[in-house]
Amino acid sequence: MLSVEEARKLVLDSISRLEEVELPLLEALGLSLAQDSVASNHIPPFDNSAMDGYAVQAGDIAGASAEKAVELEVLGDLPAGYTADAEVGEGQALRIMTGAPLPDGADTVIPVESTRAAGGKVLILEGLPAGSHVRKAGEDVKAGETVMVAGTPVGPAELGMLASLGCARVRCFRRAVAGIIATGDELVGVDEELAPGKIRDSNSYTTYGMVREAGAEPLRLGVVRDDAALLERTILDNLDRVDLFVTSGGVSVGDYDMVKDVLGKLGEMNFWKVAMRPGKPQAFGHIGGKPLFGLPGNPVSVMVSFEQFVRPALRKMMGCMELFRPEVSAVLDTPLGRKTGRAEYIRVVAQWHDGAYHVRATGPQGSGILRSMVLGNALAILPEDVGRLEPGAEVTIQLLR
Ligand code: AMP
Ligand code: MG
């Protein structure tokens, strides 16, 4: 049996990054930058006021207070978006709004709360050091600086930063398309009636969700009967449309587990027993140059295996720096009994309190108990050799949401 780490390494070593594309800024959301992002201008581009108030010379107002107000001549008003046409000289002030460029001559802004207007004059009620309430040009980002490196995922903050830098088009790694195939004669669609012996296909839905959540594009290729020719056709017909396939079911040792035979015939496939629970039987390889993950059929096995193998592979394809879910330490609040021999991914509810994550199992942990994934927000990873655990034990958890 392979350990999860060994299987993951074999998978990831065989995955290459997709091409770069240049996209309009908004379409880069959820993708990763293909180039370092170097600032072409300062942010902010000019010294500007951080407050509504008066732009003054600090020397004029040193020592000002409510009792010893300093009177200055007001030159006019400067809203954001405009530049001053006059310089602020000694004994003078310009009424300035947040974001307006600091006028020549001034070095300090006195907030309006520390002033009193008096006709064409203003009384300054507080002395502040030079530079107060001024945002310096380049204080956020300096022109020429590398702000984000290649591989940075573009989220809301990165979109805003790229907009500030004037990047209307962005070079990123292309979004991967994952073709999803559910196999099994017992499966009916979500809008079909259940009949004796039939269950509804849930795997193609959970997989759709996980692909989307990984930032890739899911393509449901439907439910395929346990018929080798049908499966073969579905894969071959879609080779050009997808970057990767995910199948569920048919990879264990049952008589009807024909996925193995088809995959073995179509490409270079490995059939692995991975030392994990759930999710022991897995197939992975390449067909026509496209990676194919043959996940087990049980609904929880699909999700846990996807998390450990498919998600990191999709993220590697899409050029992400960070392939894995965050893992942190947690304290077990309830006992856990288990068989050793395989790493176990227990679905848990993780909550942060008293300075630590605390976890409890969601309830029954069978590989068909999909509700455990609905209730849980994390997976507690119990190493192969760890048996029963008592409350208070420390466990590593993978945060899923
Ligand atoms: P298999 O690996 O094909 O033997 O499937 C293992 C278990 O998972 C069986 O109980 C199947 O009925 C169930 N199963 C397989 N595919 C799906 C699916 N798409 N949705 C829900 N359950 C499934
Ligand atoms: Mg099956």
**Domain identity same for 312 and 334:** no
Give the Å distance between the CA of 184 and the centre of ligand 2: 4
Q: Quick check: 367 and 300 in contact, CB under 8 A? A: yes
Q: Report how many domains make up the chain.
A: 4
**Domain identity same for 280 and 210:** yes
Last residue of a domain, one of 157, 173, 189: 173
What is the pLDDT, as a whole number, of residue 257?
75
The CATH number of the domain holding residue 156 is 3.90.105.10
Provide φ and ψ at 127, rounded to 5°: -90, 130
Beta strands in 13-158 (DSSP E): 20-24, 37-38, 48-49, 53-56, 70-78, 92-96, 108-111, 115-118, 121-124, 134-135, 146-148
**Domain identity same for 351 and 367:** yes
* Atom 16, ligand 1: residue with shortest CA distance: 297
Could you write out the DSSP letters of every residue in 136-178?
Answer: PTTSSB-TT-EEE-TT-B--HHHHHHHHHTT-SEEEEEPPPEE
Residue 276 CA to residue 382 CA, distance in Å, equals 10
**Domain identity same for 156 and 208:** no
Q: Whose atoms come closest to the Cα of 301: which ligand?
A: 1
> Does 221 fall in a domain?
yes
* Atom 17, ligand 1: residue with shortest CA distance: 297
Which among 188, 190, 203 is the best mutation to test ligand 1's pocket, defined by most ligand atoms within 8 Å of the CB? 203
> Does 322 fall in a domain?
no
Which conformational region is residue 265 in: left (phi greater than 0), alpha (psi within -120 to 50 degrees), or beta?
alpha
Q: Domain containing 311: what range?
A: 4-18+175-317
What is the pLDDT, as a whole number, of residue 258?
79
**Domain identity same for 191 and 244:** yes
Cis peptide before 278 (omega within 30 of 0): yes
Mean pLDDT in each 10-residue stretch from start to end of the chain (401 residues)? 95 97 97 97 97 98 96 98 97 98 98 96 98 98 98 97 97 98 96 97 98 97 94 96 96 78 87 91 94 96 98 98 96 91 96 97 96 98 92 97 92
**Domain identity same for 215 and 290:** yes
Size of the chain, expressed as the number of residues it contains: 401
The CATH number of the domain holding residue 367 is 2.40.340.10
Provide φ and ψ at 311, rounded to 5°: -60, -50
Q: Quick check: 148 and 161 in contact, CB under 8 A? A: yes
β-sheet with 92-96: strand ranges across: 108-111, 53-56, 92-96, 70-78, 121-124, 115-118
Closest CA to 373 of 307, 284, 290: 307
Cα angle for residues 222, 225, 231 (degrees, 5° grid):
70
Cα angle for residues 8, 10, 13 (degrees, 5° grid):
100
Last residue of a domain, one of 113, 135, 157: 135
Residue 134 CA to residue 323 CA, distance in Å, equals 41
The CATH number of the domain holding residue 305 is 3.40.980.10
Could you give the C-alpha distances from 345 to 202, 222, 327, in angstroms and in order?
20, 28, 13
Last residue of a domain, one of 290, 317, 344: 317
**Domain identity same for 188 and 288:** yes
**Domain identity same for 255 and 154:** no
Give the Å distance between the CA of 297 and the centre of ligand 1: 4
Residue 384 CA to residue 5 CA, distance in Å, equals 12
The CATH number of the domain holding residue 91 is 2.170.190.11
Which helix (H) or strand (E) covers residue 401, if one does? none
**Domain identity same for 9 and 116:** no
**Domain identity same for 276 and 237:** yes
**Domain identity same for 180 and 65:** no
Closest CA to 301 of 227, 243, 338, 249: 249
Which two structure tokens, joined as six digits, stand for 204?
């193609």
Give the Å distance between the CA of 311 and the centre of ligand 2: 23
Ligand 1 touching residue 254 (CB < 6 A): yes
**Domain identity same for 312 and 361:** no
Strand 70-78 relative to strand 92-96, pairing: parallel
Residue 282 CA to residue 291 CA, distance in Å, equals 13
